[in-house]
Structure 1
């Protein structure tokens, strides 16, 4: 009878140890710190977009994606899935946060993704802001002929 009680207690201890280690591993893996996973998930959502560069937030809950042709994208961890979003030119507002390492971003087409995004450094924050500014330039303005620009400067 004593051996059965000890076996049951041992099984309970093993079960709790398993549960605790699984919870710790899950909390550690929450987020998008794995850039390979981010590339796969964004590629699955937008197979025709070429990714040039990724920049994760400090907590790994969001990744900003620099795409070809000055386009930008965004991924956010939504606990059970990843939300992927293409940012349309002119459809985002960006303001630097008080810390200098973050951006306060309003997505006009996806307001549920609005928020304050902190990066590991001010350099990373500035780089993402430049991607979003590059994305903000309207297509017709990018393709103005150089003689049109020089003629406008003469007046």
Structure 2
């Protein structure tokens, strides 16, 4: 009878440990890739209150969100567990390289190297659109004005 009680206690402890470990793993997965893009937009609005967001695209894993602003500028938000780090990309301060997969590109942010990385999107169209935003952002507004005046 005594061994039955000991084994019962051991079984209950193992079950509680398994339940707790599973619950913690699920919580970590949810916090890892903050897929609440509404929260991301609020964070960007807080960081840059004078910028109006026109369009938004997130990477397939939800760890990076790119925003297209009303005046043609581009921004990036990187998920860091419980918050987003927001960065407004200045003209001429980003380099983009295509990758073998058409849904991916590598970007190097000269003003914010912590944002550098390989970005993979759900579709080829999303990756192409965001890379065009970044490449369009590569040309400064002064260069655009000169090109329009000469045309």
Instruction: Return the TM-score normalized by structure 1.
Output: 0.81
| Structure 1: stretches of 5+ with no match in the other structure | 151-155
Q: Is the 8 A contact 1:33 1:56 kept in 2?
A: no
Deviation at 1:29, TM superposition (A): 4.2
In structure 2, distance between residues paired with 1:15 and 1:32: 26
Q: Answer yes or no: is 1:93 the counterpart of 2:95.
A: yes
5 Å-filtered alignment, 1:43-122, equals 43-122=45-124
| Structure 2: stretches of 5+ with no match in the other structure | none
In structure 2, distance between residues paired with 1:25 and 1:32: 11
SS at match of 1:22: helix
Q: Answer yes or no: is 1:149 the counterpart of 2:150.
A: yes
Q: Is the 8 A contact 2:31 2:81 kept in 1?
A: no
In structure 2, distance between residues paired with 1:95 and 1:52: 24
Task: Please report the RMSD computed on the Cα atoms of aligned residues, expressed in angstroms.
Answer: 2.5
Q: Is the 8 A contact 1:105 1:116 kept in 2?
A: yes
Instruction: Return the TM-score normalized by structure 2.
Output: 0.83
Deviation at 1:101, TM superposition (A): 0.7
Q: Which residue of 2 aligns with 1:24?
A: 26
Q: Number of residue pairs matched?
A: 149
2:138 to 133, 136, 139: 136
Q: Which residue of 2 aligns with 1:123?
A: 125
Instruction: Give CA deviations for 1:26-70 in whole Å, capped at 9, x if unaligned.
Output: 314421422111111111221221111111111111111111111
